[in-house]
Amino acid sequence: MEREKNSTTESGASKKTSKKENKRTKKSCWSQNAECPNNVNTIKLLNNIKNNATMAKRATETVIENVDNKKFADILKEQVIKYDDFVRRADKLARGTGTLLEEKGGLSQFFTKTNIKMKLMTDNSISKIAELMIIGNTMGVIDLGKTMRHTPDVNPDTMNLARELLMYEEDAIEAMKFHL
């Protein structure tokens, strides 16, 4: 009986401690002038930014191989340069937190590249390419949006980069609609 009382008291004390810890974690460590001891969400978002931009860059490079129209190819080449910039900036922010970002597996990139080539075998018109670009950018927007929504307490610079990439992809979607 006495053991039960002690274990109840101990669990009650741990509940009080966990409530104190919850109050501390609810405040954003990025709004304070101290280092955040836990960069997990920032790194998760940076990985998503890098993977998103890398996938978009490689898919666009694959599409460019099948474009006959020089003006349209130039538009796509500008996108590749911009996506490369997002990758570079994500890596730079990660180095600032003392980590290296993961490279997304080559298997998913292989399947994406193969899928794009198969779809363009039957129809490589500008309209079809624009449609594929819209679909790919929409998938990127959805994935990045989910990650942004479900990763609280992220470094403001990282969140700004994510928002910038999100807006860029939305603008790319609008630009491709002109070519449908």
Rounded CA-CA distance 158/160 in Å is 5
- Regions in the chain scoring below 50 on pLDDT: 1-35
Q: What is the pTM of this model?
A: 0.76
Rounded CA-CA distance 180/168 in Å is 19
pLDDT for 11: 45
pLDDT for 164: 97
pLDDT for 6: 47
Q: How far from chain centre, in Å, is Cα 91?
A: 12
Rounded CA-CA distance 151/166 in Å is 15
pLDDT for 71: 94
pLDDT for 156: 93
pLDDT for 134: 97
Rounded CA-CA distance 45/40 in Å is 9
Model confidence over 138-180: pLDDT tens digits?
999 999 999 999 988 899 999 999 999 999 999 999 999 999 8
Question: Tokens 């490079």, residue?
Answer: 61
pLDDT for 174: 96
Q: Could you give the domains of the chain?
A: 39-177 (1.20.1260.10)
